[in-house]
Amino acid sequence: MATKITPISGFPELLPRERFAEQHVLDVVRRTFELHGYAGIETRAVEPVERLVGKGGDADKEIYAVSRLAGGEDARDASLGLHFDLTVPFARYVLENAGKLDFPFRRYQIQKSWRGERPQEGRFREFTQADIDVVDIGSLPAHFEAEMPIVLAEIFEQLPVGDFRVRCNNRKIPQGFYLGIGLTDIVTTLRIVDKLDKVGAAGVRAMLVEAGATAQQAEQCLALAEISTADGGFVDQVRALGVDHPLLQEGLQTLAEVMSAASAATRPGRVVADLSVARGLDYYTGTVYETQLVGFESWGSVAGGGRYDALASDGATTYPGVGISVGITRLVQLLIARRGLTTTRSTPSAVLVAVTDDAGRPRSAAVATALRARGIPCEVAPKADRFGKQIRYADRRGIPYVWFPGTGDDDGDQVKDIRSGAQVPAQAQTWTCPDEDLRPALRTD
């Protein structure tokens, strides 16, 4: 009896065209990170469960524990869990390698993470993230907080995402504001306000009152969250609410500096101050970021992050940091599902080298070797079929060129652009593939 294969939800697998699209996104992200001086690292997939639970700050998050099937109880590693993000393992990495790193340390990391949450559109159990962070010893200058939205904007400007917004806030603004109006359970209030995009103003108002806020305090929280500007105008709007607290003033100053730097380095309107952004993780202490695609706000953030001051500490020394994370899987799946993102071909090959007959296969292989030596991706036809069939084979895969090896010294090679039908003499040692055809290109519906 044949075994039926059942897909496992939340663990996406991509077809070749989709994988090429994802690789293009990854290349853009990695290249941009490196242009800004970030060095790549990789950390282990598992961390002690105690550390993950202690640093995650989200009681709803399910952590996958790790154990071996064989070997009995003694072989179980139930104290280990798969990391749910890259920031917590990076903080541990910094502590373990502090004596070998140069500070401020700038790193990027592109790896998979795992979360045991309910799979749905835009949410997965296994997914790829791409992070950058800057950490320093003891203190971290605020100008690093201004760098993050600039990097995010540069990445999304290079991708076929349409309009987008990098939304920025500073955790000290809502914290100081809440303290200024008499609220003391700051963590709960932040988590509730962070649900504004999901449940709306009425839902947040009800949840705040249920958590102990008065109706007036709930309205004040919503008034703060409604403030959004593409420049430093948010400062006057916050002060007009009539609330004062030293932490609030500190946050306003830092966010104003972030917006000033971003305005000078990005297109108008790409980076905005949005005081509804809270970020649910407890370890954020300063500027926080979320990136949304305009028209697809219901998907939530496709990139985000923030500043943290106490995540990496050995008790004697603290390593404050700031970072961002691009949800590669989330972003690519959105573009595939909603924008029809795909690529121009399902294979890296730009050239199919035809085979005239079985005896001529070595000649075709020699052509392919010469083309590859010059950086031109190609493959040799699987069968010595009629040339019409070999052309159709290339066409089905999106391969733009078919190469016909000559049969002798007087019968030179020919290369055919099967899109236009143009066919010209060519030599494998000199023919140049147009740059736009050398690699699969992205396209959207």
With respect to residue 6, please indicate whether it lies within any of the assigned structural domains: no
Q: Are residues 313 and 378 in the same domain?
A: no
Mean pLDDT, the chain, whole residue set: 92
**Residue-level pLDDT at 1:** 54
Question: What percentage of the chain exceeds 70 in pLDDT?
Answer: 95
Residue 54 confidence (pLDDT) above 90? no
Domain check: are 73 and 29 in the same one? yes
Q: Tell me, yes or no, whether 238 and 370 share the same domain.
A: no
Mean pLDDT of 106-123: 91
**Average pLDDT for residues 306-335, to the nearest whole number?**
93
175: closest CA among 239, 227, 252, 235?
252
Q: pLDDT class for 77, splitting at 50, 70, 90?
A: low
Rounded mean pLDDT of 200-207? 94
- What is residue 308's predicted lDDT score, i.e. its pLDDT? 93
Q: Looking at the domain assignment, is residue 1 inside a domain?
A: no
DSSP letters along 44-101, please?
-SEEEHHHHHHHH--TTPPPPB---SSS-GGG--TTEEE-SSSHHHHHHHHHHHGGG-
**193 plus 232 within the same structural domain:** yes
Question: In whole angstroms, what is the distance from residue 137 CA to residue 192 CA?
Answer: 33
Do 355 and 366 form a contact (C-beta atoms < 8 A)? no
The response to whether 423 counts as a known ligand-binding position is no
Q: Are 230 and 359 in a shared domain? A: no
Selection from 113, 147, 101 nearest residue 305 by Cα: 147
Same domain, 367 and 337: no
We report the CATH number of the domain holding residue 427 as: 3.40.50.800
* 263 and 288 belong to one structural domain: yes
Two structure tokens written together for 214: 């008065």
279: tokens are 């970020």
Give strand pairing partners of 41. Answer: none
Indicate whether 10 belongs to any domain: no
Domain boundary among 342, 375, 410: 342
Bridge partners (DSSP) listed for residue 325: 131, 304
User: Do 309 and 385 share a domain, yes or no?
Assistant: no
Nearest to 182 by CA among 154, 153, 206, 212: 212
* Domain of residue 268, CATH code: 3.30.930.10
- Mean pLDDT for 419-436 is 96
Question: Is a pLDDT exceeding 60 seen at residue 64?
Answer: yes
The pLDDT of residue 70: 66
| Residue 197's pLDDT band (cuts 50, 70, 90) | confident
Asked which of 306, 322, 342 is the last residue of a domain, the reply is 342
Domain annotation covers residue 9: no
The mean per-residue pLDDT over the stretch 50-54 comes to 83
pLDDT of 73 over the 70 cut: no
Q: Rounded distance, CA 319 to CA 309, Å?
A: 7
* CA Rg value for the chain: 27
Q: Select from 436, 429, 400, 393 the least CA-distant residue to 416.
A: 400
223 and 184 share a domain? yes
Domain boundary among 313, 342, 371: 342
In a domain, 2, yes or no: no
Tokens of 326: 């691009």
Of 75, 73, 72, 50, the residue nearest 63 (C-alpha): 50
* Whole-number Cα distances in Å, 365 to 379, 393, 394: 8, 17, 17
Residue with the bigger pLDDT between 298 and 362: it is 362
204 with 192: CB under 8 angstroms?
Answer: yes
Cβ neighbours for 224, distance < 8 A, ≥ 6 positions apart: 173, 174, 177, 238, 241, 275
Whether 414 and 431 have beta carbons less than 8 Å apart is answered as: no
Q: Provide the β-strand partners of residue 134.
A: 106, 322
pLDDT at 59: 39
Averaged pLDDT for residues 192-205: 90
Q: Are residues 132 and 113 in the same domain?
A: yes
Per-residue pLDDT at 210: 94
Structure tokens at 23: 């690789």
Q: Is residue 286 part of a domain?
A: yes
State the Cα torsion 182-184-185-186 to the nearest 10°: 80
pLDDT over 90 for what percent of the chain?
A: 78
- Residue 129, both tokens: 């993230």
Q: Is there a contact between 427 and 370 (Cβ–Cβ < 8 Å)?
A: no
* pLDDT tens readout for residues 322-360: 999 999 999 999 999 988 999 999 999 999 999 999 999
Residues 244 and 106 placed together within one structural domain of the fold: yes
The answer to whether residues 24 and 90 belong to one domain is yes
Q: What is the DSSP letter of 120?
A: B
Phi, psi of 442 (to 5 degrees): -75, 150
- Assess whether pLDDT exceeds 80 at residue 235: yes
Enclosing domain of residue 417 = 351-443
Band of the pLDDT at 410, cuts 50, 70, 90?
low
284 assigned to a ligand binding site: yes
Q: What is the pLDDT of residue 408?
A: 63
Q: Which two tokens stand for residue 184?
A: 């003391």
pLDDT at 60: 43
Q: How many domains does the chain have?
A: 2
Whether the pLDDT of residue 58 is over 60: the answer is no
Per-residue confidence at 55, pLDDT binned at 50, 70, 90? low
Report whether 85 belongs to an annotated binding site: yes
Distance CA 12, CA 21 (A): 14
In a domain, 8, yes or no: no
C-beta separation of 343 from 21 below 8 A:
yes
Quick one: tokens of 86? Answer: 């890259």
Looking at residue 56, its pLDDT comes to 52
- Flag whether 87 is marked binding: yes
Inter-residue contact 307 to 109 (CB < 8 Å): no
